[in-house]
Amino acid sequence: MPLAPGSKAPDFALETDTAPVSLAALKGKTVVLYFYPKDDTPGCTNEAKDFSALKSEFDKAGAVVIGASKDTVAKHAKFRAKYDLTIPLGSDPDAQVIEAYESWVQKVLYGREYMGIDRATFLIDGSGVIRRIWRKVKVKGHAEEVLAAAKAL
């Protein structure tokens, strides 16, 4: 059965450049888990900067924001330093978490089909239940929309 609002969120554990993050360790907190294709590309950079800019607002709402991609922990560390990003970025090199969240999808670019990460965001409540899912995210205004949804929980 595909993931949908009301589904139990798949557990995850990801390495970051600061400390490991896991859904189990965040029990009781609202979690915003977003998947993005690649560090240091225009859309992904803007999305990470937007979430970072709103980190204090997410903190006030009791929400933890975690970005995740297949990039390595070392690449995430450089990306965070380059743009002063304040949110943790999880490394999922084998795409296990990405696949568990149904965000490893077939894509088409210039007629060429390939597998890649669907830019998607999951809002998970303190009980580990998915409350909102955004698929095929358009970056502009997205962090603000997710913040409003997190505040409404």
Rounded CA separation 21/64 (Å): 10
Helix (H) or strand (E) holding 72: none
**How many other C-beta atoms can be found within 10 angstroms of the C-beta atom of residue 7?**
16
Question: Is the sign of the CA dihedral 91, 14, 127, 5 positive or negative?
Answer: positive
Rounded CA separation 110/92 (Å): 27
Residue type, 10: P
Q: How far is CA 108 from the centre of its chain?
A: 22
Catalytic residue among 23, 26, 44, 48: 44
Does 44 qualify as catalytic in the annotation? yes
DSSP string, 102-116: T-EEEEEETTEEEEE
CA-to-CA dists, residue 53 to 46, 59, 101, 126, 127, angstroms: 10, 12, 25, 23, 26
Active-site residues: which are they?
A: 44
